[in-house]
Structure 1
Amino acid sequence: MICKGKEKSVTGLSTLCYIEKDGKYLMLHRTVKKNDVNKDKWIGVGGHFEADESPEECILREVKEETGYTLTSYRFCGIVTFVSGNGVTEYMHLFTADGFEGEPIACDEGELEWVDIDKIESLHIWEGDKIFLRLLAEKVPFFSLKLVYDGHDGLISAVLNGKEIKNKERKESEHAEKYRTDEIGK
Structure 2
Amino acid sequence: MKGLKRTAVMVVLRCESQFLLLKRANEPNRGLYVPVGGKVEPYEDPYQTGLREVAEETGIRLQKLRYMGSLVETSPVEYNWWCSIYMADIPWQEAPPCDEGKLEWIDFSALETLATPATDWHIYQYMAREQPFAMRAIFDENLKMIFMEEEIEGKILI
TM-score by length of structure 2 reads: 0.89
Q: Is the 8 A contact 2:8 2:81 kept in 1?
A: yes
Following the alignment from structure 2 to structure 1, what is the Cα–Cα distance between the partners of residues 79 and 102?
A: 26
Percent identical residues: 28
- The residue identity in structure 1 corresponding to 2:121 is K
* Residue 49 of structure 1: aligned partner: 40
Following the alignment from structure 1 to structure 2, what is the Cα–Cα distance between the partners of residues 150 and 75?
A: 32
Structure with the larger strand share: 1
**Deviation by residue 1:113-164 (Cα, 9 ceiling, x = unmatched):** 11111111211111211111111111103x2110111233521111212625
Q: CA deviation at 1:74?
A: 2.2
* Cα RMSD after superposing both structures: 2.1
- The residue identity in structure 2 corresponding to 1:21 is C
| Greater RCO, 1 or 2 (C-alpha within 8 Å, sep 6+) | 2
* Residue 87 of structure 2: aligned partner: 96
SS of equivalent to 2:63: strand
Alignment partner of 1:129 is 2:117:
no
**Deviation by residue 1:15-72 (Cα, 9 ceiling, x = unmatched):** 00110113200000012x3xx1211110000000111111110000000000000113
Look at both structures and tell me which one has the larger radius of gyration over its CA atoms.
1
* Residue 136 of structure 2: aligned partner: 146
* Residue 177 of structure 1: aligned partner: none
Q: Is the 8 A contact 2:20 2:103 kept in 1?
A: yes
Q: Is the 8 A contact 1:17 1:44 kept in 2?
A: yes
Q: CA deviation at 1:79?
A: 1.1
The 3 A distance-change label for structure 1 pair 113 and 103 is: closer
* Residue 56 of structure 2: aligned partner: 65
TM-score by length of structure 1 reads: 0.77
The 3 A distance-change label for structure 1 pair 84 and 107 is: farther
Unaligned 5+ segments in structure 2 are none
